[in-house]
């Protein structure tokens, strides 16, 4: 018997798959369950909603509805949020600990657009965590010319946790016991001049593990690097590069979200003095979220999604490329770039066609669906620099 073909009304699929309207520089905390959170609300037990004791139900994953949100999962916003949380928690740990000064070190920052660098000293301190173990914090800060036509700001924070156990009685963080292991290195910078500027951050994790009150636990290894630039002589653009060997969040000893072998590269450009623009997306990895009902979805982009309105030689490249998602329950989703798309960084301009193949042989198709705006859930770039912005809000766990 031939598989049945169902064609979903475009308006319905667009409502399910497209991202909500967001400003180009959205606010920090994206509450759990919001449009920018790829996981639906849990039931407070760590179990997948609608299941008994954490077992998944028998319904196949509706990849045509959740697939695009899985691309957001690969973008590493969980790691960004976790880095800001750990930085604030480290302040509490240091306040309650005994400090032991260590030999100073340095960190480097690009001067302007480079390639020259500025070398800045860092202060290194070891802390005896108040319930056992140790935290070593190397911290450096550069502030040059703030408020003038040419300014440069940079922060460096490196944390090494060795079975650091912290007991919180009261304060900003929930009362209870915290334990941290592994490393986190945070670098952020912002350069501003009369004819342009650049900003960015790089967070790198090594064998990091953390447990916090509420039976929440996190593990993370890898890096997230973000940059943006604007210059009068060559235009503007931004990049996001994610390399995560592993990321996991568990609630009550049950996996709420898991990422493995993630590679994501997003490059967007707008040449100066024209409406020309380009877009490139490469996303690969294995994802488990509440939205996948505990199933592993493996994502592969080949060829990469790309397109340009006009390149340096005056040639346009139609939007092309394909993303394939395969769920462990046998379902499959293929997103193909729609060549009629307007190449732009504006949400809704880039379009994809899709075919979803369900385990029972049924298929669902859709044409000219807006490609999700992956960076709609990003943090304000200045929030990775201490004291630069006053509206970053309270940092919460992912």
Domain range annotation of the chain: 5-14+60-384
* Three-state secondary-structure class, residue 43: coil
Mean pLDDT of 213-234: 92
pLDDT at residue 104 in the model: 93
Mean pLDDT of the chain: 84
Residue 393: pLDDT over 80: no
Cis ω before 115 (30° cut-off from 0) = yes
Tell which wins on pLDDT, 381 or 5.
381
Is the bond leading into 303 cis (omega within 30 degrees of zero)? Answer: yes
Q: What is the pLDDT of residue 127?
A: 98
Per-residue pLDDT at 361: 92
> What pLDDT sits at residue 89?
96
pLDDT at 15 over 60: no
Confidence (pLDDT) at 142: 94
Residue 3 has pLDDT above 70, yes or no: no
pLDDT at 398 over 80: yes
- H-helix segments, the chain: 10-17, 63-73, 77-95
The residue length of the chain stands at: 398
Exposed/middle/buried for residue 198 (C-beta within 10 Å: 0-12, 13-18, 19+):
buried
β-pair partners for 215? none
Place of tokens 């475009």: 10
| 53: confidence class by pLDDT, cuts 50, 70, 90 | very low
What is the mean predicted confidence (pLDDT) over 340-352?
A: 92
Predicted confidence band of residue 66 (pLDDT cuts 50, 70, 90): very high
pLDDT of residue 287: 98
| Mean pLDDT for the stretch of residues 82-95 | 96
**Which residues in 49-168 belong to E strands, given as ranges?**
98-110, 117-128, 134-144, 151-168
Q: Which of 40-49, 135-144, 351-360 has the weakest average pLDDT?
A: 40-49
Q: What is the DSSP letter of 377?
A: G
8 A C-beta contact, residue 256 and residue 39: yes
Phi, psi of 150 (to 5 degrees): -130, 115
Query: What is the pLDDT confidence band of residue 25, given thresholds at 50, 70 and 90?
Result: very low
* Residue pointed to by tokens 């969040």: 249
Tokens of 354: 């899709």
Tokens 């807006």 map to which residue? 370
Residue 345 pLDDT > 80: yes
Predicted pLDDT at 18: 36
166 has pLDDT over 70: yes
Nearest-CA neighbor of 213 among 157, 258, 172, 255?
172
List the single range of 117-121, 231-235, 369-373 with lowest mean pLDDT.
Answer: 231-235
Q: Are 265 and 282 in contact (CB under 8 A)?
A: yes
Counting DSSP H helices and E strands in the chain, the numbers are 3, 18
The pLDDT assigned to 93 comes to: 97
More confident residue, 249 or 395: 249
Higher per-residue pLDDT: 156 or 5 = 156
| Whole-number pLDDT of residue 36 | 40
Q: Using CB atoms within 10 A of its CB, is residue 331 exposed (0-12), middle (13-18) or buried (19+)?
A: buried
Residue 274 confidence class, pLDDT cut points 50, 70, 90: low
Position with higher pLDDT, 146 vs 84: 84
Reference 240, options 77, 69, 68; nearest CA is 77
In this prediction, residue 14 has a pLDDT band, given cuts at 50, 70 and 90, of very low
Torsion of CA 31, 36, 37, 38, to 10 degrees: 170
| Average confidence (pLDDT) over 358-383 | 90
């Amino acid at each position: 018997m031939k598989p049945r073909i169902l064609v979903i009304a475009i308006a319905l699929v667009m409502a399910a798959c497209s991202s909500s309207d967001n400003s180009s520089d959205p606010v920090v905390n994206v509450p759990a369950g919001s449009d920018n959170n790829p996981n639906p609300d849990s039931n407070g037990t760590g179990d997948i909603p609608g299941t008994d004791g954490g077992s998944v139900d028998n319904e196949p994953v509706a990849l045509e509805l959740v697939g695009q949100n899985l691309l957001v999962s690969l973008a590493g916003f969980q790691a960004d949020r976790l880095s800001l949380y750990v930085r604030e928690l480290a302040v509490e740990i240091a306040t309650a600990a005994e400090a032991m000064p260590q030999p100073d070190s340095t960190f480097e920052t690009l001067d302007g657009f480079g390639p020259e660098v500025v070398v800045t000293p860092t202060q290194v301190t070891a802390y005896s965590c108040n319930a056992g173990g140790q935290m070593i914090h190397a911290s450096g800060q550069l502030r040059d010319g703030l408020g003038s036509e040419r300014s440069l700001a940079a922060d460096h924070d490196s944390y090494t946790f060795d079975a650091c156990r912290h007991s919180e009685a009261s304060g900003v963080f929930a009362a209870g016991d915290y334990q941290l292991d592994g490393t986190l290195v945070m670098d952020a910078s912002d350069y501003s001049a009369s004819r342009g500027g650049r900003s960015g951050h790089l967070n790198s994790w090594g064998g990091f593990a953390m447990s916090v009150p509420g039976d929440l636990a996190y593990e993370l290894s890898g890096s997230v690097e973000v940059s943006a630039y604007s210059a009068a002589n060559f235009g503007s653009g931004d990049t996001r590069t994610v390399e995560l060997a592993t990321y996991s969040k568990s609630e009550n000893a049950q996996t709420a979200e898991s990422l493995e072998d993630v590679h994501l590269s997003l490059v967007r450009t707008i040449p100066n003095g024209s409406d020309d623009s380009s877009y490139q997306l490469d996303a690969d990895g294995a994802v488990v979220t509440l939205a996948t009902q505990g199933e592993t979805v493996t994502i592969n982009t080949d060829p990469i999604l790309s397109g340009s309105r006009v390149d340096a030689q005056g040639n346009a490249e139609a939007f092309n490329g394909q993303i394939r998602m395969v769920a462990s329950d046998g379902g499959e989703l293929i997103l193909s770039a729609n060549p009629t798309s307007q190449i732009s960084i504006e949400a809704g301009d880039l379009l994809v066609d899709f075919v979803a193949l369900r385990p029972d042989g049924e298929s669902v198709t859709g044409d000219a669906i807006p490609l999700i705006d992956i960076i709609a859930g990003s943090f304000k770039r200045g929030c990775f620099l201490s004291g630069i912005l006053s509206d970053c809000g309270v940092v919460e766990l992912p």
